[in-house]
Structure 1
Amino acid sequence: MGKGFYVGKAFAIGGIIVAVAALSTIIALAVVYSQERSKNLQVPTTEGPTIKPTPTPSNKPWDQYRLPKSLVPISYRVKLWPRLKPDPVSKLYIFTGQSDVEFECVEDTDLILIHSNKLNYSSPGNRNQVSLVAVDSWAEIPFKSPWFQTVTQYMVLELNEKLVKGRRYRLYTNFTGELADDLGGFYRSEYKDDDGVTKIVATTQMQPTDARKAFPCFDEPAMKAHFNITLIHDHGTTALSNGKAIETTNITTDGESLQQTTFEQTPKMSTYLLAFIVSDFIFISNNSTDQVEIRIFARRSAIEAGQGNYTLSITGTILKFFEEYYKCPYPLPKSDQIALPDFNAGAMENWGLITYRETALLYHPTFSSNSNKERIATIIAHELAHMWFGNLVTLQWWNDLWLNEGFASYVEYLGADKAEPSWNMKDLIVLNDVHRVFAVDALTSSHPLTSKEDEIQRPAQISEVFDAISYSKGASVLRMLSDFLTEDIFTKGLQTYLNEFAFKTTVYTDLWNHLQKAADANEVNLPVSVENIMNTWVLQMGFPVVTIDTTTGTVTQQHFLLDSNARVTRKSDFNYVWIVPIRWGKTGVVRDGITWLQDKTATIPGMTASGSDWILANLNVVGYYRVNYDQGNWDRLLNALSTNHTAIPVINRAQLVDDAFNLARAKIISTVLALRTTLYLNRERDYMPWESALDNLDFFYLMFDRSEVYGPMQDYLRKQVTELFNYYKGLTENWVNVPSGHLDQYNQVNAINLACRTGLEECQTLVTTWFRDWRTSGTNRIHANLRSTVYCHAIAAGGATEWDFAWSEFLKATMATEAEKLRAALACTKQPWILNRYLEHTLNSSLIRKQDATSTIVYIAQNVIGQPLAWDFVRHQWSYIYKEYGGGSFSFSNLINGVTKRFSTEFELQQLKQFKEDNAAVGFGSGTLALDQSIERTQANIEWIKENQDQVLKWFKDNSRRDAAAVTSVL
């Protein structure tokens, strides 16, 4: 309704929401709102609640970030009216709202703390914006004038009399908020339709702590309640929320004809899972999945172009899979999924109304690559997995976020595999998650999966735990757990866990208890309890390297750190010893069962090899650890790669490369030994080993693309990739066809990308010709799989003409995945002036959407020419970036990590430290830990280059054959 909502006595007693706002009130409040925006939208007029000066730290309840335990919410009724046009006076987009929350008093108290952030409760008239009644008598409860503690984001009501344990009360509020474009809470997204008309979408992102920006609430995950949502919206728009729409009626307010949509009451759920959206989107649907209504919403042009069809085709399959996996029906009557033009995360698991970036939901075979298609399948599976694990059963506090996100990150591969069984999805977790998170977890600045609750308090601390450790390490250790229990036992324990805690909250050890019961019932042989095993992986950071001496069968473990000289200051109750499940084999024969390593060292019978035999451990990389061997076994494994590489499973070929390069960085083996794992690649055709090698050689590019090593390295890699390039040239009949296999399509991209990157003339001619044909003919014939790499290399080889053409195509792209490819490729230019101009574009949301600003800067930093430009830009703009984008549109951890990855000199290290010192007062938000990790990584890089540059230069020279005729200008 209007901004002048108020709560009358009749409303308080009867609990009926009534619209009484007047146009004059809207105008007056708009003026107030404009004036107060700079004050966090919290300062009311004299008639409303006031702000007290921020108290110094104290033991007062309102100075604590956690809510008191005295009040427990039962249900909310929330009515919101988002304005999809700016106010003519203030020029702001706003929303107005009314809410009431019924709660039970479980401990006598004379204080109500309820979260509220950037909401305005002021009124130009003498209207009561906040009131409190006892439910049993409907008697009003008196209180002092409400005030705000803005640091901890509370509305504070100090009562004149105590609330009584066991009684229920209801708090009524009227409020106004800004429908800002900050991508958090209730916010505004914009897009242009086919006629170039700007359209506004009112949408939400509540996780982790932004429901309080939409309405006053007890905004903690354990504070579950039922929600009754009503939305006021313009004709021609559709209102969505978690529940099914019960009724949409026509109403008139202030002479304006509007619609009002009321939704079914939600199940008991957490505030961070709420969603409400008003848009002019249309949908496609399929009602055939066990009476669950499935709908895909997006911009009209996207739906009409068929971009939602793929999502619709796989959603039912994945839902059915999870119903069987959990042995629990989908808990809601509908599953809506919506693609938003502006969305900071990849997707959000709001119960019954999942929100996505357009690139994560919309697919078109002409514009979308197979990697786009895979991303859509895995993200849908990830979000649907949360409908049970996270939504139905919710972790009590954010310190256990890893279990929620790690679980979904594991089973997303299972769900996607069900939808696309030919893709071999289950293996890709090794590259995408296990190897990815090893790099972070091998730093002394890493952290355990779970922390104490009191270590995760402030919103910035909560946001910081949404990192690779929670997602990818969580997924990796749960996959390991599922393997040593067996998937059947794992799911049995999971099913009883969900059954017991449905609509409740838990801690991670509750899952261990149910898995233990399942293991005991099925007589699973474990060395100790599930909890004792998993605590070594959950309660201490890092992971071990397991070293096997195949001459004696002696096996040892030690904490693996990339910087072997680094000091670990974080204490561990387990002294950095893990209980390690080892699957291993011998010369191609897989040994049955698991060998457990429980101490720092042990002797394992049979784990010896001689002659040409070799030992291979961590088969299929199901364990979360690295493996090292004695030199003799390494030599035998390398010989097997060079003579008959298929004798080693493909996942383990990728593992050998990744382990070797990282063991070398940690000074456990020689860098030359690691480089030897790449010698066989000219005969390798499988994607996973090549991808593993390229991921690790990327570090060599970062360290050496400004040094004399660069040339010989390029010569060697060009020689290694030429055979792969020619293989795909023949397989595709001179690049006309597409490889049939999902992973073969990926490796074709690797072949072209590395061939062009290393200056293979035929490759460079190929991509520049394709790009020129598009530019001159106006018809893009480049296959979607190849567009990213073709665009990048063609733009790098060109100048302003090529860049300007790609920029114009980016601006007019109607398919999000195509725009994403172009946006990344635009960062590949070698022209510094163009890169500087592109950096400036990132702070203009009309050119680069706020959701894309971080990644665009990081793309530029990945370019050896763009890296110092991006670093200078971030340092110069940090205060502005932090102030303007701190609400959710910038991922500060990704930004800081991305612009500093190449740092490897003392000068750069000092710059990093100075940056930290200079901006201490500004802050780093969710990037605080990332900054420390960047400093640690830079120190390690400096030492690594000192120790390795000469031998690496010699090795590349010795193993490459310079062919001047094949080399053109190197990209």
Structure 2
Amino acid sequence: MFASDTLTKPEPTNEYRLPTNVKPSHYDLTIQTDLDNSVFKGLVKIKLDVKEPTSTIVLNSSKLKLDKAYVRSDTLNEKLAPSDCSVNDKDKRVTFTFPAIFQSGTQLELEIAFNGTFDGSNVGYYRASYEMDGEKRYYTLTQFEPTNARCAFPCWDEPALKATFDVTLISKTDMVNISNSAVVLEKAFSPNDQDYLGLKEAFPTLNDKWKITKFHRTPKMSTYIVAFASGPFEYIESKVKLPISGMEVPLRVYATADIIHQAQFALDVKAQVLPLYEQLFDVPYPLPKLDTLVAADLDAGAMENWGLITGRTSELLLDPMKGDTIAKKSVIETQAHEVAHMWFGNMTTMEWWDYLYLNEGNAYVYTLFPEYKGNADFIVLQFEQALALDAKPSSHPIEVSCPNAESIGQIFDSLSYSKAASVLRMLSAYVGEDKFLKGVSLYLKDHMYGNTVTGDLWKGIGQATGLDIPRLMDNWVTKTGFPVVTITETSNSIKMRQDRFLETGIAEGKENETIWNIPLSILTVGSSGETTIDRDAILDTREKEFPLDTSKPFKINAGTNGVYRVLYTDERLSKIAAEIAKSDCRFSLEDKMGLINDAMALSQAALMKLSTALTLIDAMRHEEECKHLSSDTLLPSLSEIASVWRDHTEIKNLLNEFRRSLFSPIVKKLGYTYSTEDSADTNQLRTSAIGVCAVAEDTTIVNELRSRFEHYMKSGDDSKIPADLQRIIYATAVKHGGRDEFHAVKAISDKPPTPTAKISAMLALGYTQDDSLLRETLNIMLNEARDQDVIYFFLGLAVHHHSNALLIDTFKEKYDQIYARFAESFVMYRLVEFTFKNLSTDENLRETVAFFKNKDVSRYSMALDQTLDGIQARIAYRKHSSLDILVWLREWKQKNL
């Protein structure tokens, strides 16, 4: 029996969930958008099924002015007005009380007229701006996840309360209207048209300057993925024939005229992944089209609205002549992730936000572009981010209670996304990818257009594998943290012990009670050099012994698929380092990445000496596969060490020497010229090596980068600034230059040739060493930058010790302004994290705790706790490893003189 056979889905609580006396089945929604006056007007007719006798109807509404409301029943044709209407602004609900009791089984139609304003926020139905031909212009779009559909129309704004939707948009005739479904009818308004008589009554300003766009009815879906937009859009289009349904589906990318030429790559990626996913999941894509809208203003990076994906310019656009590797990867990741959501989240939706990971984790697992070594990229972009956050005492389970809006907004983090994806990737590696995908397909088919909890996914995979998946996996999603596996050896066996890993060491007492079922994937090398991986071995107790010939090379967690750290003895780690140095090393790229990442994390936790980790890194300087090791693993590991000791002059200078010794030879070998004949690996390695050498003050490389920017300043010719090097060239020019360089980069930020150039410029403005220019950067950040761009200024300013101090002072001084601006968005908790996370002294910690003591932190309490944990970990790191790293670096320099 599978665990989900006996699961009961949780009943809504009265305090935070809507009553279940009535449930919606269909919405007929009409929205009139008046951009000239920054307002919108709407009419919604909602079909309801009465589940319990009631005279009250409670639904969600926020920021809307409600007008007339009526209800009709299937037994009463006349309209019945409510006897009372009360609005609860705190809970964002409206309650209608009627002078009649509606009996169970009755079908109702609730009709509500409403209007709203475009208030400058980026949630709900909102207005975005862009510039073209020196003129500021506008369009509208939606961002409803997690709980903002209620800001656009009154609705039952909970994921389990699914319904179908008929959407009608009314706009000026020169606007383009798009929504989840395809257009069924579009024509200019005519007062003599019988179809529009009802609209004239609800929207009295209609005349021949307006047009009406009606869309096909949607499948049954949740409110948070409803979407519509209206603006002067243009589009590019292609078609794909899907392998299972056989349908030919039109694919479009919409954008404004000034940027539509940069959207082709996003369209091409979507055309590649949509048929691949249909085949992979063995479930037909259910809609007749799939659009993407590129948005100038969007707090989320991208949003998976069914049939109408939205995404930032920086996530979806690519200059066809200057596309860099990072930008290409970003577009691929964004489009692939959002298209996967058409199945995970849209077709099959989590029952409540506690189970967000069922949407987000599943949408990250699938690697479709082998030329970018997606498995290795996953380790860097998802796996390590997840473990870094989950190693904090204030971490939370993947499956986490989200009773209210404040808690829902905070769980869109690396645990719901990256740890969930990592855990599912681990399960896939353990049961086999084919069986895992079969189980996922069964899960989707069993719950098509429905809602799910964890047990439903385990049931599908259990049916495909014949394994007890709940027993194997439940602790991975319901418990906080992850284990470290400590290895001790005899001549013919290894003994393993598991404990909860924290960034400050092994957890103690009640914090160390969880026993995980750990797939060990034991890699052994035979006498003839052949490798064997035991994928069946499981550590399911606190300690267990496994027979093994320890005279031969071995490694635990082959492929770095398991969500845990491995602590070897110093002697074994020395042998592993020697093995890696061999030309015929049997460890994979992913194995080597895992070894480095484990060593760095274990040294921070004082379970291994930092000098041992640095010795391992030093042993890899001639590693043949250093392309990924250098650009993805060594670089962030060494950057984190540099950040912890950024105010310690001798350590900083010696560490810069060490970094230059690793990366300068790569720059000399690869140079600064990018070629279409180079692989993605080579391009990324070149970029990373140049970047780290510039940061490490390699005079030759710094001067080269400065000269390239100087050429641009004198001539306006940017041909010496490859797209891949924009970020480091801009930053180097600002850091080592003066007012002229600063304002040249600011000019790029104001009128960027590409979205990635804008991001590079915004980041670079925080690198100036001039206090007056730093204050100018802070002013731009607070008073000129778009909401979605503020985060890049924070990131740039937080890098250096002095600018970070000014950022903290500004954050404290302008806190009320910042909070009022970002409290309801995804941005606020990131701003708290980025501002304070690089602090590393006891005084820093005391001052930070004191500042937030009397603040309402309910919207970012998780991020604040995690940030404070991080500061404490950095303090401990400095205390136990400062002498160790200093001695090692001194000895390393002496040996290499």
- TM-score, normalization by structure 2: 0.93
CA spacing shift, 1:739–1:795, aligned 2, 3 Å: farther
1:638-717 equivalences in 2 (<5 Å): 638-644=577-583, 646-684=585-623, 686-690=626-630, 691-708=632-649, 709-717=651-659
1:199-238 equivalences in 2 (<5 Å): 199-238=137-176
1:937 is aligned to 870
Shift of 1:721: 2.0
2: CA distance between counterparts of 1:696 and 1:591?
Answer: 28
Residue type matched to 2:75 in 1?
D
Shift of 1:586: 2.3
CA spacing shift, 1:135–1:835, aligned 2, 3 Å: farther
2: CA distance between counterparts of 1:963 and 1:579?
Answer: 45
Shift of 1:142: 4.9
1:631 is aligned to 570
Q: Report SS of the residue matched to 1:222.
A: coil
8 Å contact kept, 2:50–2:106: yes
1:384-405 deviation per Cα after TM superposition (whole angstroms, max 9, x unaligned): 1111111111111000001210
Residue type matched to 1:381 in 2?
A
8 Å contact kept, 2:759–2:792: no
Tell me the number of residue pairs that the alignment of Structure 1 and Structure 2 aligns: 857
1:306-705 equivalences in 2 (<5 Å): 306-411=261-366, 414-415=367-368, 417=369, 421-451=370-400, 455-520=401-466, 526=467, 529-551=468-490, 552-564=493-505, 575-587=513-525, 589-606=531-548, 608-610=549-551, 613-644=552-583, 646-684=585-623, 686-690=626-630, 691-705=632-646
1:771 is aligned to 709
1:157 paired with 2:103, answer: no
1: CA distance between counterparts of 2:761 and 2:409?
Answer: 30
8 Å contact kept, 1:739–1:745: no
Shift of 1:642: 3.8
8 Å contact kept, 2:348–2:449: yes
2:814 to 874, 877, 890: 877
1:327-366 deviation per Cα after TM superposition (whole angstroms, max 9, x unaligned): 1221100000110010111110100010010111111133
Q: Report SS of the residue matched to 1:682.
A: coil
Q: Report SS of the residue matched to 1:842.
A: helix
1:895 is aligned to 831
1:784 to 708, 715, 723: 723
8 Å contact kept, 1:363–1:372: yes
CA spacing shift, 1:684–1:833, aligned 2, 3 Å: farther
CA spacing shift, 1:739–1:948, aligned 2, 3 Å: farther
8 Å contact kept, 1:367–1:818: no
1:835-854 equivalences in 2 (<5 Å): 835-844=774-783, 847-854=784-791
2:198 is aligned to none
8 Å contact kept, 1:247–1:262: yes
8 Å contact kept, 1:367–1:817: no
1:109 is aligned to 54
Shift of 1:960: 2.0
8 Å contact kept, 2:163–2:221: yes
8 Å contact kept, 1:904–1:941: yes
Q: Report SS of the residue matched to 2:76.
A: coil
1:794 paired with 2:706, answer: no
1:939-958 equivalences in 2 (<5 Å): 939-958=872-891
- TM-score, normalization by structure 1: 0.86
1: CA distance between counterparts of 2:134 and 2:724?
Answer: 29
2: CA distance between counterparts of 1:882 and 1:318?
Answer: 39
Residue type matched to 1:735 in 2?
T
Q: Report SS of the residue matched to 1:678.
A: helix
2: CA distance between counterparts of 1:222 and 1:808?
Answer: 48
1:11 is aligned to none
Residue type matched to 1:245 in 2?
V
CA spacing shift, 1:766–1:267, aligned 2, 3 Å: same
2: CA distance between counterparts of 1:962 and 1:545?
Answer: 34
Residue type matched to 2:146 in 1?
P
1: CA distance between counterparts of 2:712 and 2:509?
Answer: 54
1: CA distance between counterparts of 2:762 and 2:676?
Answer: 24
1:910 to 846, 863, 867: 846
1:226-248 deviation per Cα after TM superposition (whole angstroms, max 9, x unaligned): 11111111121100010111111
1:889-910 deviation per Cα after TM superposition (whole angstroms, max 9, x unaligned): x512221111112211111101
CA spacing shift, 1:875–1:256, aligned 2, 3 Å: farther
1:293 is aligned to 250
More off after superposition, 242-251 vs 709-718: 709-718
1:267 paired with 2:219, answer: yes
Residue type matched to 1:863 in 2?
H
2: CA distance between counterparts of 1:791 and 1:239?
Answer: 39
8 Å contact kept, 2:606–2:880: no
8 Å contact kept, 1:550–1:615: no
Shift of 1:159: 2.8
Q: Report SS of the residue matched to 2:262.
A: coil
8 Å contact kept, 1:862–1:898: no
CA spacing shift, 1:204–1:962, aligned 2, 3 Å: farther
2: CA distance between counterparts of 1:224 and 1:314?
Answer: 30
1:242 to 152, 172, 180: 180
Q: Report SS of the residue matched to 1:774.
A: helix
8 Å contact kept, 1:447–1:541: yes
Compute the RMSD of aligned alpha carbons. Answer: 1.9
Residue type matched to 2:726 in 1?
R
1:386-430 deviation per Cα after TM superposition (whole angstroms, max 9, x unaligned): 11111111111000001210110212xx23x2xxx3222233111
1:787-829 deviation per Cα after TM superposition (whole angstroms, max 9, x unaligned): 1112111221101110101111221124222212222222222
CA spacing shift, 1:114–1:569, aligned 2, 3 Å: farther
2: CA distance between counterparts of 1:779 and 1:357?
Answer: 27
8 Å contact kept, 2:24–2:162: yes
Give percent identity, aligned residues only.
28
1:768-805 deviation per Cα after TM superposition (whole angstroms, max 9, x unaligned): 11111111111101111111112111221101110101
1: CA distance between counterparts of 2:148 and 2:510?
Answer: 34
8 Å contact kept, 1:203–1:278: yes
CA spacing shift, 1:96–1:645, aligned 2, 3 Å: farther
2: CA distance between counterparts of 1:283 and 1:544?
Answer: 49
CA spacing shift, 1:725–1:738, aligned 2, 3 Å: farther
Q: Report SS of the residue matched to 2:747.
A: helix
Q: Report SS of the residue matched to 2:36.
A: coil
1:472-525 deviation per Cα after TM superposition (whole angstroms, max 9, x unaligned): 0010000011111111111111112211211111112111111111112xxxxx
Unaligned regions of 5+ residues in structure 1, if any? 1-60, 87-92, 123-128, 521-525, 965-971
1:302 paired with 2:259, answer: yes
2: CA distance between counterparts of 1:697 and 1:334?
Answer: 46
2: CA distance between counterparts of 1:373 and 1:959?
Answer: 38
1:756 is aligned to 694
Shift of 1:749: 1.1
Shift of 1:864: 2.5
1:26 is aligned to none
Residue type matched to 2:396 in 1?
H
Shift of 1:149: 0.8
1:831 paired with 2:809, answer: no
